[in-house]
Amino acid sequence: MRVNEVMARPAVIATEDASVEDIAKIIMEGEVGCIPITDASGCLCGIVTMSDFAPRVEGEGRPSFRAGPLFNTWLADGSAAAWFAENRGRRAREIMSAPVVSVEEDSDVQVAVNLMAAHGLYRLPVVKDGKPVGVVSQRDLLRVMLGAQR
């Protein structure tokens, strides 16, 4: 089975010049967990995920919404809202993760599984000629696994 058979498409994308506020709106309106970021030529150059909207915790490399007690603290003390207020005008290029791990659309699904496992990813941008065409998620892969068992 190929990645293009299981991925969500089309990719909901933004350019590296998009503001943090615009990206937040795209995530909410598109009901997606990540936004592949493209350069001026339309090629994948970064990714913004939901966790990029969480304040960074001192001593930890990447923010995480998985840290329940910390998230509750951010909500209680207003630091998440303060972070967003301070950063809403920043550009995607300033908060995106790069370089991006991605997979070609005609790759075998096992390639995507291996990449996601090796890098601890929940979602993986799918590209064709370097341009994002979709996203494959752990949920997509679980759907395939369940379908195969029927």
**Could you tell me how many residues make up the chain?**
150
pLDDT digits (tens, 9 = 90+) for 105-118: 999 999 999 999 99
More confident residue, 58 or 129: 129
Q: How far apart are CA 18 and CA 12, in angstroms?
A: 13
Which has the closest alpha carbon to 131: 6, 2, 49, 15? 15
The pTM is what?
A: 0.79
Q: Is 3-149 in CATH node 3.40.50.300?
A: no
129-140 average pLDDT score: 95
User: What is the band of 135 on the pLDDT scale with cuts at 50, 70, 90?
Assistant: very high
pLDDT digits (tens, 9 = 90+) for 60-101: 555 444 444 444 555 556 666 676 777 778 899 988 999 999
Write down the mean pLDDT value for the chain.
83
Please, what sign has the CA dihedral across residues 33, 73, 82, 55?
A: negative
User: What is the band of 44 on the pLDDT scale with cuts at 50, 70, 90?
Assistant: very high
Q: How far apart are CA 14 and CA 36, in angstroms?
A: 7
Res. 119: pLDDT tops 90: yes
Residue type present at position 54 = A
Whole-number pLDDT of residue 79: 62
More confident residue, 102 or 24: 102
Whole-number pLDDT of residue 64: 44
Q: What residue ranges do the domains of the chain occupy? A: 3-149
How far lies 28's CA from each of 23, 49, 62, 121, 135, in Å? 9, 12, 21, 20, 16
Grouping H, G, I as helix, E, B as strand and the rest as coil, residue 45 is: strand
More confident residue, 58 or 138: 138
